[in-house]
Amino acid sequence: MITTLNHRERATLRAVAGGHAEISCSCEPDLFIDGLSCCDQSTAHRLARLGLIAPARPGKYGELVPALLTEDGSRSLSEVLTTAA
């Protein structure tokens, strides 16, 4: 999957890949980086809708759980890094 990602989206994916993110369990999940609410929740929502990030495990509605990159998210991030090299 090739998705054009802006700088903020790439940075958000890197934070998730680095284990710095939690995501709320909901239909429009909110993202928290290092315990702080992500400054651009529309980016978090877009990445979740595109299937690039997801909860690492099930949780109760509204519960914060670790966020992870999906296979598509890992692929998108590695494509960006490869293109930049």
Does residue 69 sit within a domain?
Answer: yes
Q: Give pLDDT tens digits for 15-73.
A: 999 999 999 999 999 999 999 999 899 999 999 999 999 999 999 999 999 999 999 99
Does residue 52 sit within a domain?
Answer: yes
Burial of 76 (0-12, 13-18, 19+ CB in 10 A): buried
Query: What is the tally of structural domains in the chain?
Result: 1
- The Cβ of residue 79 has, within 10 Å, a number of other Cβ atoms equal to 14
Which domain range does residue 43 map to? 7-84
Does residue 1 sit within a domain?
Answer: no
Does residue 54 sit within a domain?
Answer: yes
Percent of the chain with pLDDT over 70: 89
Rounded to whole angstroms, how far apart are CA atoms 11 and 59? 25
Q: What is the pTM of this model?
A: 0.88
Does residue 77 sit within a domain?
Answer: yes
